[in-house]
Amino acid sequence: MTAEYKVHGSVAVITLANPPVNGLGLSTRQGIVDGLTRANDDAAVTSIVITGAGGAFSGGADIKEFGTDKSLQEPNLHSVIAAVENSPKPVVAAIHSVCMGGGLELALGCHYRIAAPGCSVALPEVKLGILPGAGGTQRLPRVVGVEAALNMIVSGEPVKSELLGSMPGQKLFDKMAASPEALAAEALAFAQSVADVRPMPLVRNLPCKHPQGDAYFQFARNMVKGMSKNFPAPAKCVDAVEAATKKKFADGLLFERELFINLMWTPESRSLRHLFLAERAASKIPDVPSDTPKRDIQAVAVIGAGTMGGGIAMNFLNAGIPVKMLEMKQEALDRGIATIRKNYEAQVKKGKLKQDKYEQRMALLSTTLSYDDLKDADLVIEAVFEELGVKEAVFKQLDAVMKPGAILASNTSTLDVNKIANFTQRPQDVVGLHFFSPANVMKLLEVVRGDATAKDVLATVMAMAKKIRKTAVVSGVCDGFIGNRMIEQYGRQGGFLLDEGCTPEQVDKAMEKFGMAMGPFRMGDLAGNDIGWAIRKRRYTEKPDMKYSKTADLLCEKGRFGQKTGAGWYDYVPGKRDAIPNAEVVKMIEDHRASLGITPRKISDEEIVQRLVFSLVNEAAHILEEGIANKASDIDVVYIFGYGFPVHRGGPLNYANEVGLFNVVQAMNRFAKNPLDDAAFWKPAPLLAKLAAEGKAFN
Ligand code: 3H9
């Protein structure tokens, strides 16, 4: 049983005890109902308190139970709330720390609510692609007003209890406790004070009206239009709250339930729920237990003050961690500092950062031209030129000066972290930290685990990633790690599509319609086409059998490296990011196609999307099989947070699961028959072939 029952004098206390956040899983729901029954059967008990153990009142319905039989089994949350409302003895919710989703709905079913200050209160279901399904859309407007409730339900954002408690006319909290520590005693005293009050108040009996009714809901519908582009839930939230103002309570509840069930089965909700769990699972490494001791990171050093080094440094400054930046020349340091200042000043201008915070952050930044000055740093990250010889020089110097136990990290995006580690006498302290550009903005951090990387180093950098607000995913050592290894296949398919008849614009539009933040050619222009060119040149000697379209090389030979040169696959007006199609580039593609003797064909958006996305899927299956990624969901996290893959698709492997792996393999077999494509690549990875044959999915 994951709810405890104790009697204090005349008050029975039911404590939800389902760590980590007292999710309302089956056994907790059963525990609440059993506790209510015991309390109501005990003549010595005159009132009941429901509270939560540990760091939460409740985080809501147990997300891990969704889609399983347990979520359907009685007592479901509706039955639990009905048992609370029908209790002949008053029930008081004693709310603290976190009160969200079904947890708030449970509290709203109680006769009274007392809250500790500092508690995060939310109906965040919309973030999981659903809406509150246990009366939240019907009860919250009755206690905080229609507009405040709709804002909370549509945004899913938490509001602090003291703010809600101080809203004029609010009926959410009957009392605010003086402090979190005082909550338990105050809740007991409050429960005793209301023991004999009859009739007992119920939120469902309160009125629910909006003075401008229809006009307000029309306005609300317009407001959520943007949010609703790829997600059905926000608009349904408006419908449900409107129902609270127009229908009888019981009918509103039924309406809400129907919407909830329909949303629960949408692919968008499945994707969001998958990502919620995937993001949290990414921080867990199978052979590194969560209680692995961590090294202390009090001071950080960054080598290289270029765009990458500066962006990396900003992450630590933002988290209040001092950074020392090293460069070879004072001018380079000055340029780096000026760029960091410019970035912060832009944030101040936009009102996103306060002036005093900006100054505090800059005060944490120091610079040096000497490796000796870095020796006391706990973590050093190099962001120097991507060439093994340069890395060798840097790591040998670091090995000579850094204190024992310091973590030595490389921001390499392609090079062999094992080789880099072996430039030192302490390979166990070396790890890859692959930040994505712009490093102060992008959430993804690929943590590259070398053969010798110590477990406590991994545990430390994963914890540090959380501190600097990155989503970290562990990758093994291979060329390109998880993300860039996959994107190479995606880029190759993009090239073949041009050879066969597409324009860059057509490919980009199809992918953007699918939901990608940017199509492959706009992305190439943003990242710099010269980067891919350098990799291909290496490939031509390393893997002479690998097939590439030559169009991207022809583009680079013209110096069209992308946004930074004002011209790439598209043209760019200085200072703007709008991609303007260029007739010469289209002609270049046509001429090249003609030189190969290819007659262009019309290619559907569906084929474009499938070839690009399934190329990611096949490479991902190899990556999983080789143990480069620990789990399929890690790969989805990499693509969502690092490559602009559409959130509503849940990542490439979640999308493949939705399409059905059998269908994915069928499509690959079709693509393999295309003489202009790379038949060898389209041989389904053994893992993918096996899962498809067994009717299974990536998990
Ligand atoms: C709902 O209530 C539906 C109802 O309306 C209707 C039903 C009929 N269940 O985020 P963290 C786990 S829908 C199960 O890293 P933080 C999480 O997986 C639900 N587990 O910590 C992780 O586990 P692990 C509406 C949950 O301190 C651990 O807690 N509720 C749940 O940064 C720590 O999570 C929500 O959408 C859950 N509901 O933030 C709340 N919630 O250690 C979503 C969390 O194994 N949750 N876990 O990886 C949150 O917003 C944050 O997790 C919270 C804590 C603020 C609670």
- pLDDT score recorded for residue 577: 86
Residue 290 maps to a domain: no
**Domain C-terminal end among 241, 264, 287:** 264
pTM for this structure? 0.95
Residue 229 banded pLDDT, cuts 50, 70, 90: confident
**Number of domains the chain is built from:** 3
Residue 535 banded pLDDT, cuts 50, 70, 90: confident
- pLDDT score recorded for residue 414: 87
pLDDT in tens, 596-609: 999 999 999 999 99
Mean local confidence (pLDDT), 318-341: 97
| 184 Cα–ligand 1 center, Å | 23
To 10 degrees, the CA torsion angle through 497, 498, 500, 501? 110
Name which of 609, 554, 547 is nearest 586 in CA terms.
Answer: 554
Q: What is the largest CA-CA distance in the chain?
A: 93
* Alpha-carbon torsion (39, 40, 41, 45), positive or negative: positive
Task: State the amino acid at position 15 in one-letter form.
Answer: T
Name which of 579, 558, 560, 581 is nearest 503 in CA terms.
Answer: 581
Q: For tokens 């001092």, what's the residue?
A: 322
Same domain, 432 and 495: no
- pLDDT score recorded for residue 681: 96
Residue 378 maps to a domain: yes
Distance, in Å, from the CA atom of 668 to the CA atom of 670, rounded to the nearest integer, reads 5
Residue 699 maps to a domain: no
Q: What share of the chain in percent tops pLDDT 90?
A: 95
Q: Please, what is the angle between helix 481-500 and helix 520-527, to 10°?
A: 120
ipTM attached to this prediction: 0.99
Whether residue 354 has pLDDT greater than 80:
yes
CATH of the domain at 344: 3.40.50.720
Same domain, 440 and 458: yes
Name which of 217, 210, 99 is nearest 144 in CA terms.
Answer: 210
**Domain C-terminal end among 406, 441, 475:** 475
pLDDT in tens, 77-99: 999 999 999 999 999 999 999 99
Distance, in Å, from the CA atom of 14 to the CA atom of 6, rounded to the nearest integer, reads 7
Instruction: Look over the chain and give the mean of its residue pLDDT values, rounded to a whole number.
Output: 97
Distance, in Å, from the CA atom of 148 to the CA atom of 370, rounded to the nearest integer, reads 56
Residue 469 banded pLDDT, cuts 50, 70, 90: very high
Chain centre distance of CA 512: 20
Q: Which of 105, 382, 505, 619 is catalytic?
A: 105
Distance, in Å, from the CA atom of 117 to the CA atom of 119, rounded to the nearest integer, reads 6
Task: Choose which residue among 2, 16, 18, 21 to substitute to test ligand 1 binding: the one with the highest number of ligand atoms within 8 A of its C-beta.
Answer: 21
The residues that bridge with 475 in the sheet, in sequence order, are 448, 629
pLDDT in tens, 121-153: 999 999 999 999 999 999 999 999 999 999 999
105 classed as catalytic: yes
pLDDT in tens, 357-387: 999 999 999 999 999 999 999 999 999 998 9
Mean local confidence (pLDDT), 534-562: 93
Task: Choose which residue among 58, 62, 63, 272 to substitute to test ligand 1 binding: the one with the highest number of ligand atoms within 8 A of its C-beta.
Answer: 63
Give the angle 161-165-168 at the CA atoms, nearest 5°.
145
Ligand 1 atom at shortest distance from the alpha carbon of 127: 36
- pLDDT score recorded for residue 72: 85
- pLDDT score recorded for residue 10: 98
Mean local confidence (pLDDT), 416-441: 97
| 22 Cα–ligand 1 center, Å | 9
Extract the tokens encoding 337.
């500092």
Mean local confidence (pLDDT), 2-30: 97
Same domain, 422 and 560: no
Extract the tokens encoding 571.
């043209």
Same domain, 660 and 590: yes
Same domain, 495 and 372: no
387 classed as catalytic: no
Distance, in Å, from the CA atom of 655 to the CA atom of 649, rounded to the nearest integer, reads 5
Same domain, 535 and 618: yes
| 63 Cα–ligand 1 center, Å | 7
pLDDT in tens, 502-519: 999 999 999 999 999 999
Same domain, 343 and 224: no
Classify residue 565 as exposed, middle or buried by CB count within 10 Å of its CB (0-12, 13-18, 19+).
middle
Chain centre distance of CA 53: 27
Distance, in Å, from the CA atom of 651 to the CA atom of 633, rounded to the nearest integer, reads 8
Task: State the amino acid at position 26 in one-letter form.
Answer: L
Extract the tokens encoding 64.
């891990």
| 593 Cα–ligand 1 center, Å | 53
Ligand 1 atom at shortest distance from the alpha carbon of 60: 2
Chain centre distance of CA 51: 30
Distance, in Å, from the CA atom of 358 to the CA atom of 348, rounded to the nearest integer, reads 8
Residue 204 banded pLDDT, cuts 50, 70, 90: very high
Same domain, 88 and 44: yes
CATH of the domain at 578: 1.10.1040.50
Residue 235 maps to a domain: yes
Supply the range of the domain harboring residue 394.
Answer: 300-475
Q: Whose CA is nearest to atom 16 of ligand 1?
A: 21
Distance, in Å, from the CA atom of 4 to the CA atom of 22, rounded to the nearest integer, reads 12
Question: Do the Cβ atoms of 436 and 409 come closer than 8 Å?
Answer: no
Extract the tokens encoding 431.
């790890």
Question: Do the Cβ atoms of 134 and 102 come closer than 8 Å?
Answer: yes
Q: What share of the chain in percent tops pLDDT 70?
A: 100
Same domain, 492 and 464: no
Residue 661 maps to a domain: yes
Q: Whose CA is nearest to atom 56 of ligand 1?
A: 59
- pLDDT score recorded for residue 71: 87
Question: Do the Cβ atoms of 405 and 380 come closer than 8 Å?
Answer: no
**Domain C-terminal end among 423, 443, 475:** 475
Whether residue 417 has pLDDT greater than 80:
yes
Residue 531 banded pLDDT, cuts 50, 70, 90: confident
Extract the tokens encoding 654.
């979640």
Q: Please, what is the angle between helix 146-155 and helix 136-144, to 10°?
A: 140
Whether residue 1 has pLDDT greater than 80:
no
Task: State the amino acid at position 247 in one-letter form.
Answer: K
Q: Please, what is the angle between helix 661-672 and helix 652-659, to 10°?
A: 100
Distances (CA, A) of 614 to 340, 659, 690: 39, 11, 16
Ligand 1 atom at shortest distance from the alpha carbon of 156: 36
- pLDDT score recorded for residue 67: 84
Distance, in Å, from the CA atom of 322 to the CA atom of 314, rounded to the nearest integer, reads 10
SS3 184: helix
Q: Which of 4, 74, 125, 256 is catalytic?
A: 125
Residue 289 maps to a domain: no
Q: Where are the alpha helices (DSSP H) in 350-427?
A: 355-363, 388-401, 417-421
| 21 Cα–ligand 1 center, Å | 7
| 323 Cα–ligand 1 center, Å | 33
Same domain, 209 and 65: yes
pLDDT in tens, 235-283: 999 999 999 999 999 999 999 999 999 999 999 999 999 999 999 999 9
Same domain, 572 and 628: yes
Mean local confidence (pLDDT), 620-638: 98
CATH of the domain at 75: 3.90.226.10
Residue 698 maps to a domain: no
Same domain, 166 and 210: yes
Residue 288 maps to a domain: no
205-233 as b/e: b if 16+ CB within 10 A:
eeebebeeeeebbeebeeebeeebeebbb
Q: Pocket around ligand 1: residues whose beta carbon is below 6 Å from it?
A: 20-21, 23, 59-64, 77, 98, 100-102, 105, 124-125, 128, 132-134, 136, 280
- pLDDT score recorded for residue 228: 81
